[in-house]
């Protein structure tokens, strides 16, 4: 039995939505618990599939946890297995985040290559190169990364900015011997939160929030994590603001950190929208005319690749031609074909998409290809005449908590249905 999402034409939304904890922040924090010697209490943890997958992986390694009502208690004291198996890792690329902490603590581990990952073509090679510079002996055998050795501080220069690479080395360096410098480090809010949690646990870290981070390792001594609260999910907030934008409706996102969304809000403003911003909430004010926009995805604080699909959906309703350039990931325009099935006019030339608007969209059967693409299809479904059926919606549950309930609270007409397939 499979599930799909049916959306009926919902041209106007209104109201407010509470934003959940950030998936991209909680995953490295959970992985970091491997470095901890006591119970770790974590609040505002989103109940999404990726979190449950990582917890399943840690349980498989010997950890114990309790997870209820967005509150997580985890203890990794009795880890007795250092192999992260393919059966779990294949479902989530972020599983690679256990590599650094497992190696730093146990000096020998095996982690399956993330599903579909080609060494050299994807950033995982940057993780391995950095760990090698810290003294790790790394071999790739039978689809697994086998790493062993006692880690020592080193100067790590990333050839390109990598969020998960920065996180992996931050965690590994926290237990290594001596000083590690990460040069060309990622600066995302999720990185800053991980640094803050490690620092609260006793690690001396300098340069937090900059592109050069210095970590003074504990030389194998386990850390003492304090109770922490996960930051709000800026991509979830951006997605609901995008729902307001594509329907040109006034909506409010609550429990957010507005400065984390500055790179997104700038582009919404260029499209004609305005905002009322308070301490922890943002209200989108409808535009007199939705204008076309030029977007180039880049690392924080630039426009995030995780909002590229959503802005493309809005651009289908803009009055003119929008140009979207994807510089961070290959194959991240797969949603364009599905948007065209609804009636959008999008042409792709390499890493650049041209979106002609305004397009009259009509409901159809379409297929989700990844997490953020899925949310873009929902946005388009809101303004498409008739019914839109989105299949393979398991992608959505990886990163959006209570998605249908939140959209319904804003006035969207949608429901999850079951279908029989041969």
Q: Is 301 exposed, middle or buried (0-12, 13-18, 19+ CB in 10 A)?
A: middle
Tokens of 229: 């609260």
Active-site annotation holds for 109: no
Which DSSP letter does residue 122 get? B
Report residue 331 CA to chain centroid gap. 17
CA 199 to CA 223: how far, in whole Å?
Answer: 10
Strand locations in 345-412 (E): 345-349, 352-357, 365-367, 387-391
From the list 48, 99, 117, 393, the catalytic residue is 117
SS3 66: strand
Q: Name the burial class of residue 418, with classes exposed (0-12), middle (13-18) and buried (19+) by CB atoms within 10 angstroms of its CB.
A: exposed
Helix (H) or strand (E) holding 413: strand 413-419
Looking up tokens 């990886």, which residue turns up? Answer: 398
Report the C-alpha gap between 100 and 398 in whole angstroms. 23
Q: Which residues pair with 387 in a beta bridge?
A: 8
Beta strands in 246-332 (DSSP E): 251-254, 274-277, 281-285, 294-296, 320-325
How far apart are the C-alpha atoms of 205 and 218, rounded to whole Å? 11
Q: What amino acid positions are annotated as catalytic residues? A: 117
């Amino acid at each position: 039995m499979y599930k799909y999402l049916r959306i009926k034409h919902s041209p106007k939304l209104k109201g407010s939505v509470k934003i959940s904890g950030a998936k991209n922040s909680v995953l490295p924090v959970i992985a970091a618990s491997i470095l901890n010697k006591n119970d770790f209490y974590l609040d505002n943890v989103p109940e999404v599939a990726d979190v449950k997958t990582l917890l399943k992986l840690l349980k498989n390694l010997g950890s114990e946890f309790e997870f209820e009502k967005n509150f997580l208690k985890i203890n990794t004291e009795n880890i007795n297995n250092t192999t992260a198996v393919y059966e779990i890792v294949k479902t989530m690329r972020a599983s690679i985040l256990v590599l650094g902490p497992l190696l730093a603590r146990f000096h020998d581990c095996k982690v399956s290559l993330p599903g579909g990952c080609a060494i050299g073509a994807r950033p995982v090679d940057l993780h391995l190169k950095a760990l090698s510079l810290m003294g790790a002996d790394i071999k790739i055998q039978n689809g697994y990364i086998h790493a062993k050795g006692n880690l020592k501080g080193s100067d790590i220069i990333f050839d390109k900015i990598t969020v998960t690479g920065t996180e992996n080395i931050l965690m590994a360096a926290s237990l290594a011997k001596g000083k590690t410098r990460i040069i060309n480090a990622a600066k995302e809010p999720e990185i800053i939160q991980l640094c803050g949690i490690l620092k609260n646990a006793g690690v001396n870290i300098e340069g937090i929030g900059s592109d050069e981070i210095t970590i003074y390792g504990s030389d194998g001594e386990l850390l003492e994590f304090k109770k922490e609260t996960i930051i709000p999910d800026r991509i979830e907030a951006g997605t609901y603001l995008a729902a307001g934008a594509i329907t040109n409706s006034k909506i409010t996102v609550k429990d957010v950190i507005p400065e984390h969304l500055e790179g997104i809000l700038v582009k919404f403003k260029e499209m004609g929208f305005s905002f009322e911003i308070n301490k922890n909430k943002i209200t989108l004010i409808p535009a007199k005319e939705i204008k076309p926009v030029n977007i180039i995805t880049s690392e924080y604080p630039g426009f995030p690749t995780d909002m590229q699909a959503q802005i493309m959906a809005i651009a289908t309703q803009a009055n003119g031609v929008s140009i979207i350039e994807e510089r961070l990931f290959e194959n991240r325009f797969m949603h364009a074909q599905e948007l065209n099935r609804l009636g959008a006019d999008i042409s792709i030339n390499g890493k650049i998409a041209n979106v002609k608007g305004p397009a009259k969209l009509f409901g159809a059967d379409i297929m989700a290809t990844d997490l953020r693409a899925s949310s873009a299809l929902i946005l388009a479904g809101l303004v498409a005449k008739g019914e839109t059926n989105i299949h393979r919606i398991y992608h959505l549950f990886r990163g959006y908590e209570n998605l249908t309930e939140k959209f319904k609270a804003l006035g969207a007409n949608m429901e999850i249905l079951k279908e029989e397939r041969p």
